Amino acid sequence: MKKAMVIVNPASGKEEALDYVEEIKSILDEKGYDVVISQTEKELDATRYCEDACKNEFDLVVSLGGDGTLHETINGMVDQAHRPLLGIVPLGTVNDFARALQLPLDPKKAVQSLRSDRSKKVDIGKFNDRYFVNIVAIGSIAEATYEVTAEQKSKFGPLAYVMEGFKTLSSKESYPLRIENEEKRWEGECFLFLAALTNSTGGFENLSPEAKVNDGLLHCYIIKNVSVIRLASIVTAILKGELKNQEDVEYFTARHLDIHSENELVTNVDGEEGDPLPVSIEVKPSHIDVIVN
């Protein structure tokens, strides 16, 4: 019999995650799965549960929670020899990866999408020794996202990140950065560096419209040393999907990058604090199979 594990963060979706468990179990029962329900209680539980599912050769793992739960689940899967099919029921504020995959953001519809027999191979990013599915950001706005509270996210949704970012514009400076790989070297003053795997970041689906979930590429943006007035224009360009067309922005694609700075810089990996520089970033192309509509 096929085996499925549902990893549930009971605190997600305004603590409504458990309301969806029985329906998910019923759908998976109909599809011939023997279902195990694993509830998270503390940080990294989802990673450990997913590692166990891989080692025991489960056929399917379902992430029932927000971006943090999904991030942990994927980090438990990427390095395993056996990687189950992944199902996603998004219950977070932003749900960037679900947006990029055009999955239903309504949890009830997302639960029903688990009936689908279609799947898609997706890229996974590696940031030093951890993994990500959306974006790496380095710089002042990246640091500002740590100031966004759960209350702000609940009240304003994705706009909470933009509001917090705007508050930093007048007080933050650029920094020296060196970006290099086998094909490219860039060195100079930078306000913000972004490396995106998908089009959706912070709930805004046009940040990197060129990015596809399975193109095997990092879509990189160097926002150079610019004035506060120009930064406001650049934020507007981000919202319109026109970032790469700005004169103060350098856009390129890569499969691997090494990033260095003389300064101690904050990094943001899928919304969570990452290692300080120097860092290495790369793509694992078409590495995980995800249920889609």
In sign, the C-alpha dihedral spanning 202, 206, 208, 209 is: positive
Confidence category of residue 206, pLDDT binned at 50, 70, 90: confident
pLDDT band at 162 (very low <50, low <70, confident <90, very high): low
Domains in the chain, ordered, with CATH? 2-117 (3.40.50.10330), 132-286 (2.60.200.40)
In tens, the pLDDT along 15-25 reads 889 999 999 99
Note the pLDDT of residue 207: 85
250 catalytic per annotation: no
Q: What are phi and psi of 18, to 5 degrees?
A: -65, -20
Enumerate the β-bridge partners of residue 179.
186, 259
Report the predicted TM-score, pTM, of the whole model to 2 decimal places.
Answer: 0.90
Q: Which residues lie below 8 Å from residue 199, measured CB to CB, with a gap of 6+?
A: 100, 205, 206, 207, 208, 209, 210, 211, 212
Reported confidence tier of residue 94, pLDDT bands at 50, 70, 90: confident
What the block records as the tokens of 130 is 């951890």
Whole-angstrom distance, CA of residue 72 vs CA of residue 177: 29
In the set 205, 242, 250, 272, the catalytic residue is 272
> At CB < 8 A and 24+ separation, what contacts does 252-255 make?
252/184, 252/220, 253/217, 253/218, 253/219, 253/220, 254/181, 254/183, 254/184, 254/195, 254/217, 254/218, 254/220, 255/181, 255/216, 255/217, 255/218, 255/282, 255/283
- Contact assessment for residue 15 and residue 72, using Cβ atoms and an 8 Å cutoff: no
- For residue 281, with 0-12 CB atoms within 10 Å meaning exposed, 13-18 middle and 19 or more buried, which class applies? buried
Average pLDDT over residues 134-161: 67
pLDDT tens figures, 106-123:
999 999 999 999 999 999
CA nearest neighbour of 183 among 258, 233, 127, 109 = 258
- CA dihedral over 148, 194, 209, 167, signed as positive or negative: positive
Q: What is the pLDDT of residues 225-247, one digit of tens each?
A: 777 778 778 878 888 889 999 99
